[in-house]
Copies of this chain bind each other. A is one copy, B any other.
């Protein structure tokens, strides 16, 4: 007696082979009662559709898990979209799970995703600083996006925040500004430091000093943008441009400049960071800003993941001893940190 086939299952359940196949693959056209009957027949015959094994050995399923701790989805939703777009609208499904920066929740979601045969994982942290690795023994490749992994053996894709800071100040200089201030968020964020570093480097090239004689570190909020602008205007009333470390901060800057009757951009130009449309496009005037290209980052993450999976499959198929070699699935990813460049978005706030 040969192995049990789908035909045997269909016969026992009293349905066509097509229906049996649909039922076992969880397709929506099958009634629940029919599905139950087919599954019970498969159980009786000890039939294994082996989709798990087939998926692993012969092809990818086109499904990626996105484990995020970004509470508002603000950074992870564009990464999700980019990852889905990497291979056309009906080729890839990204399942987003929200871990909320909680290790227990993250483990629970990780197990749920892995037991559901995702081809790979994208991990997005709560903030753009290094986060703990999920470890090297996972059965699928993992890419850290936006927040890099602490383990240099992992592959991380991050924003070029130094380049972004440089880009913002370069734009202001090209518009003739010479007294440029920088108001930004929490100094413990690597991204805040990096953006300031890029800004200062570009100023130095021009022989310029920061207006207000310091980087104004504070918090990522409109309220801080307002207080810092008031202090700045007191210390350096001649400031002619502000580079804000986020669009939220920039909104606070605009608000106080309006209160003080200073024309934007004639008297003071303002540029933000994030290109968060709801805040930037609707500002008065609409806000120039730096876009982190998160969709591109998501696309790149998906391409790297699928290339790693395909590479693993090929080597597994060609080398007889591959399955005993001990190389983990993520071994196919070149380790290290890749940076994705930012992009300037000009609107009316810089003229």
Report copies per complex: 2
Q: Are B102 and A89 in contact (CB under 8 A)?
A: yes
Q: How many residues of A contact B (CB 8 A)?
A: 93
A256 to chain B, nearest CB (A): 10
Residues of B within 8 A of A46 (CB): 3-4, 46-48
Contact with B along A111-133 (1 / 0, CB 8 A): 11111110000000000000000
A51 to chain B, nearest CB (A): 8
Which of the residues B24, B74, B89, B223 comes within 8 Å of A104, measured between beta carbons?
A: B89
Q: Are A114 and B28 in contact (CB under 8 A)?
A: yes
A245 to chain B, nearest CB (A): 15
Which of the residues B40, B71, B137 comes within 8 Å of A28, measured between beta carbons?
A: B137
**Does A318 make an interface contact (CB < 8 A)?**
no
Which of the residues B24, B50, B139, B327 comes within 8 Å of A30, measured between beta carbons?
A: B139
Residues of B within 8 A of A93 (CB): 97, 108-109, 112-113
Whole-angstrom CA separation of A316 from B270 in the bound complex: 65
User: Can you sample 19 A-B contacts with CB below 8 Å?
Assistant: A4-B46, A28-B134, A31-B139, A32-B312, A32-B329, A36-B57, A36-B316, A37-B324, A39-B52, A43-B53, A48-B49, A72-B74, A80-B98, A81-B100, A95-B96, A95-B113, A116-B116, A226-B284, A258-B259
Interface residues, chain A, CB within 8 Å of chain B?
A: 3-4, 24-33, 35-37, 39-40, 42-43, 46-53, 56-57, 61-63, 71-74, 76-77, 80-81, 84, 89-90, 93-98, 100, 102, 104-105, 107-117, 134-135, 137-139, 221-223, 226, 248, 251-252, 255, 258-259, 278-279, 282, 284, 312, 316, 322-329
